Amino acid sequence: MSLKKYMILFANIFVLFSVFSLTGCRPRVTTEPPPVLSPTEPTQTVQFDPGDFQDPAVCGACHTEIYQAWSGSKHASSWVGELFQPDFQDALTETDGAVGALCGECHAPIAFRTGQLPPFDGSEFDEISRRGISCDFCHTVSEVSEKFNTGNVSAPGPVKRGPRGDTVSPVHETKYSQLHTDAEFCGACHNVRHPESGVLIIDTYDDWLVGPYAAEGVTCQDCHMTPGPGVGKNPGRSSIVGNAKEREHIATHYFVGGSSWQFSRMGSDKHARKAEENLRAAARLDLEGKLTADGLDLTVNVTNVGAGHKIPTGVTYIREMWIEVTVMNDKGETVFRSGHMDAQNNVDPNAVFFRRLFRDKEGNPTSKSWFAQEIGFDRRIPPRGTETETYSIHAAGQTFTATVRLLYRSISQAAVDANFPGQEILVPSVEMAKAEIRF
């Protein structure tokens, strides 16, 4: 390292020391957590002052790689996200602000806990709050009181909690926290329950819990805080300053799921590539074909081979995952199509979709989570499970070729057209799997 770089580093460290020595944490109201949490109450009411949670940039001066990975992640954009904001604004308008605290506590947990939310337009946020779910939010969680609706209990201050217990840092205390290695740490947010109807709007944690990966002890962290799809290792040191130990695996902080398109739009190209790898690793297609009296039966088996929860998971009522089928006869004529895009880039509405949709109070299907009264439709592929669809096709011919693709989008073209009028943003589809059969 050059002398100049060293000097900058030392200047940084000096600033850091001053920042750390100033941030003694002053809980304003130290109340016991309420004995029974009704789902309508926020998990943690305002308890802290702005500044009690530290700026992620401070951590980034030493934990450089982790900071870079986190900065491009959707935890860092959980408040400013270009898909979150329009949906949140609709939710506020259509409920007269009633769901503001619910959505806000999870998507902007520091703002919520330091009294900067409400107002719900973010006008009272400081820079730390704007950066969403950041280092000091996660690393000062002391327990999980409920495994849904942001049940993480915060204890901000000089003690940073993590998976090691044998660490020494020049600027903060460290404490071993088994919780940070457990799926329930993530489950406090990756399970969202509608406060009135009790409908699980997001069920990723519960879904993982009853599946094979939980039984084998494979956690969210094992897949989402490791280098690629599956469980891998990322050797190195977690800090460039201080006596950081060389380790077999340093937890990565890309937090990548399947949102490759959004990562590209955020300029997070590495995340985007990883998300595509994840999508391709998640599913496999197996085809069976049979000639019938007047055509053919094509059976498509979709197996979830790589995800620890159903695919899709999360906000499946916004995402699109579907089967595209093209069948040709021996003359090369297309005799059947399903799940193709039209000229406006909309998916064939009659395609076989995997997702969940809700029903509102009137019993109508809706993708607005705040109106979810019950689950109206749920077809997804469980971990290591298979969903089967048979297409009975009338067609003339002796031999056929069927090409089948499993496709994924973060959001429908129609929703993007409505959210970004006049911008002509084209939503790409990612191919998760492809298979062909001749018979």
Q: What is the DSSP letter of 179?
A: G
CA 319/CA 312 separation, integer angstroms = 8
**CB of residue 31 to ligand HEC, shortest distance in Å:** 20
One-letter amino acid at 291 equals: L
Q: Residue with structure tokens 């989008």?
A: 409
Considering only CA atoms, which of 184, 164, 183 is closest in space to residue 172?
164
Size of site (CB under 6 A) for ligand HEC: 108
Of the candidate spans 111-119, 302-310, 399-407, 412-420, the one that interacts with ligand HEC by CB under 6 A turns out to be 302-310
Q: Which of 110, 223, 285, 298 binds ligand HEC (CB under 6 A)?
A: 223
Q: Considering beta carbons, is residue 244 or 341 the nearer one to ligand HEC?
A: 244
What is the pattern of x (binds ligand HEC, CB under 6 A) and - over residues 174-193?
x-x---xx-x-xxxxxx-x-
**Helix, strand or coil for residue 118?**
coil
| 235 DSSP 8-state letter | -
Q: How far is the CB of 408 from ligand HEC (least distance, A)?
A: 7
Nearest to 48 by CA among 23, 65, 15: 23
Query: Which residue, 149 or 329, has its beta carbon nearer to ligand HEC?
Result: 149
Residue 211 binding ligand HEC, by CB under 6 A: no
What residues from 399 to 418 belong to the interface with ligand HEC (CB under 6 A)?
A: 410
Sign for the pseudo-dihedral over CA of 169, 172, 178, 180: negative
Which residues ranging from 341 to 400 are in contact with ligand HEC (CB under 6 A)? 369-370
Would you say 126 or 288 has its CB closer to ligand HEC? 126
Give the residue with the Cβ less far from ligand HEC, 56 or 295.
56
Whose CA is closest to 184, among 153, 227, 228, 226? Answer: 153
Contact 435, 325 (CB under 8 A): no
Question: What is the C-alpha separation between 374 and 298, in angstroms, rounded?
Answer: 33
Residues 232-291 that bind ligand HEC (CB under 6 A): 238-239, 241-242, 244-245, 247, 250-251, 253, 255-259, 262, 275, 278-279, 281-282
Q: What is the footprint of ligand HEC within residues 317-346 (CB under 6 A)?
A: 318-319
Quick one: 220 or 302, whose CB is closer to ligand HEC? 220
| Residue carrying the six token digits 């790689």 | 65
Q: Which of 52, 72, 101, 102 binds ligand HEC (CB under 6 A)?
A: 102
Q: Tell me which of 48, 205, 322, 336 binds ligand HEC, using CB under 6 A.
A: 205
Single-letter code of the amino acid located at 271: H
Please list the residues that pair with 358 across neighbouring strands: 366, 375
50-69 residues near ligand HEC, rule: CB under 6 A: 54, 56, 58-63, 66-67
What binding mask, one character per residue, do residues 127-166 give for ligand HEC by CB under 6 A, x or -? ------xxxx-xx---------xx-x-------x-xxxx-
Q: How far is the CB of 234 from ligand HEC (least distance, A)?
A: 8
Beta bridge partners of 377: 357
Burial of 432 (0-12, 13-18, 19+ CB in 10 A): buried
Q: Which of residues 222 and 360 has its CB atom nearest to ligand HEC in the complex? A: 222
- What is the SS3 string spanning 45-80? CCCCCCCCCCCHHHHHCCCHHHHHHHHCCCCCCCCC
Q: Which is nearer to ligand HEC, 55 or 288 (CB)?
A: 55
Minimum distance between the CB of residue 310 and ligand HEC, rounded to whole angstroms? 8
- Token pair for 177: 């926290």
Alpha carbon 186 to its chain centroid, in Å, reads: 10
